[in-house]
Structure 1
C-alpha cells in the first residue's frame, strides 16, 4: 500500500514538473529577451523619434509666430490657396507680393505644380538700400531673374534641405544646408519660418534676398 502511494506521489510530481517546463518554454518563446529597462529605453527612443517627426511635419522657426493664427493668411488658410495668392494673404510677405505682381509672375507661380519657394520676408527686402531696391523693382527683366531664382523644382521637405542642390526656375542652382530647425540657403540667408504649405508649393520664409550668379 505504501509503495502504491509513493508511486502515485511520484507520478504527480513528474506531471507538475512537466507542466512547469512547458509553461517556461512558452514564456521564453513569447519574450524578446530584453530586460524591462531595455524595453523602456526602446519605447522612449521610439516616442522621441515620433515626436520629432511630428514636429517637423509642420511649420517651424521663430518668424512663424508672425503668421496670423486665423483666416486666409494663417497656415491652414494658406494651405488652401496657390502660392502667390497664399503669400498675398500673409502680411509678412507683402513686399515680395508687390515684387511678384510688378514682375507679372502671379499666374506663373499660381499655375506651377509642386514647387518650393524661398520667400524673402519684408525685413529681407529692407536690408537692400532703398535706391537699389527701387531700381530693381523698376527693372522688370532683372526683377524676374531675381524672383524666379527663389523658386525651385519639387516640394522640398526639411530633410531635403540638409545638403541640397536644386535647379531654380531662373536656371541657376540654389544650395541649402542645415538640420533640425536651422537651415541656410546659399550660405547667406537663413530660414526663419519653414515648411509652410500652400496648395501647390512648400514655402520657406528667409531673412535675405537671394541674388542669382552673374554670367
Structure 2
C-alpha cells in the first residue's frame, strides 16, 4: 500500500510540475527562447518586464532577433539607452494588444472584415492586420509590413505571434 501511495504521489507531482512548466507567462517564454534575446533586452531597457508578467491577457507580436537586425544598429543601440526609454516603450507597447487573440480569432476577424482588421496596441495606436498572398501581415502606422511567421505560442497570461520585422508607431 505504501508503494502504491508513493507511486501515485510521484505521478501527481510530475503532472503538476509539467502543468506549471506549460503555464509560463509570455515574458518567461521569450526569455527561454534565444531568438527573442534582443526583444528581452529591449523589454528590460524599457522597464516593461514586470508589466508583461502581469495577469493580461496580452497578445504580443514578438519580433525575432533577425527582425531587430533589420533596424540600423546605431539606431537600435540608441533606443536601448536610458535617455530614449520613452521612445522604446512606445515601440514595444505598439507590439502588444491588451487581449488574447489566437490565430483562429484573427482569421475569423479577417473574414468578417474582408481581409483586413484593426487592433489597438497598448500605446493606443492602431495596427492593421491583413491577409495578403495567403499570409497574414501587420501593417504599421508608417505603412511598413511585417509577416506573422508563427502563431499561438501560449502563455499563462496571453499569446505570442512571431513577426519578421519590427512594427513602428507614429
Of 192, 196, 208 in structure 1, the residue corresponding to residue 149 of structure 2 is: 192
For the residues of structure 2 that align with 1:137 and 1:174, how far apart are their CA atoms?
23
Residues 202 and 180 (structure 1 numbering): CA distance in 2 closer, same or farther, change over 3 Å?
farther
Query: Which structure would you say has the larger RCO, counting Cα contacts within 8 Å and 6 or more residues apart?
Result: 2
Q: Any idea what the Cα deviations from partners look like across 1:63-90, whole Å, max 9, x if unmatched?
A: xxxxxxxxxxxxx987421111211001
Moved more, 114-123 or 193-202: 193-202
For the residues of structure 1 that align with 2:148 and 2:20, how far apart are their CA atoms?
21
SS, match of residue 169 in structure 1: coil
User: In the TM superposition, what is the alpha-carbon distance from 1:179 to its structure 2 partner?
Assistant: 7.7
What are the ranges of 5 or more consecutive residues in structure 2 without an aligned counterpart? Answer: 1-18, 111-115
User: In the TM superposition, what is the alpha-carbon distance from 1:95 to its structure 2 partner?
Assistant: 0.5
Of 104, 117, 123 in structure 1, the residue corresponding to residue 47 of structure 2 is: 104
SS, match of residue 53 in structure 2: helix
SS, match of residue 118 in structure 1: strand
Residues 105 and 118 (structure 1 numbering): CA distance in 2 closer, same or farther, change over 3 Å?
same
Contact 1:177/1:185 (<8 A) preserved: yes
Are residue 154 (structure 1) and residue 99 (structure 2) matched?
A: yes
For the residues of structure 2 that align with 1:104 and 1:130, how far apart are their CA atoms?
21
Are residue 207 (structure 1) and residue 164 (structure 2) matched?
A: yes
User: In the TM superposition, what is the alpha-carbon distance from 1:112 to its structure 2 partner?
Assistant: 4.0
Give the corresponding residue for 2:64: 121
- Whichever structure has more helix as a proportion of its residues is 1
SS, match of residue 153 in structure 2: strand
Give the corresponding residue for 1:164: 117
SS, match of residue 80 in structure 2: helix
Query: Over aligned residues, Cα RMSD in angstroms?
Result: 2.1
Give the corresponding residue for 2:113: none
Larger Rg: 1
For the residues of structure 2 that align with 1:99 and 1:110, how far apart are their CA atoms?
15
Give the corresponding residue for 2:13: none
Question: What number of residue pairs does the alignment pair up?
Answer: 138
For the residues of structure 2 that align with 1:204 and 1:77, how far apart are their CA atoms?
21
User: In the TM superposition, what is the alpha-carbon distance from 1:117 to its structure 2 partner?
Assistant: 0.3
- Whichever structure has more strand as a proportion of its residues is 2
Give the corresponding residue for 1:80: 23
Q: Any idea what the Cα deviations from partners look like across 1:160-201, whole Å, max 9, x if unmatched?
A: 333321111011111101289721011600011111111111
Provide the TM-score with structure 2 as the length reference.
0.75
User: In the TM superposition, what is the alpha-carbon distance from 1:153 to its structure 2 partner?
Assistant: 2.0
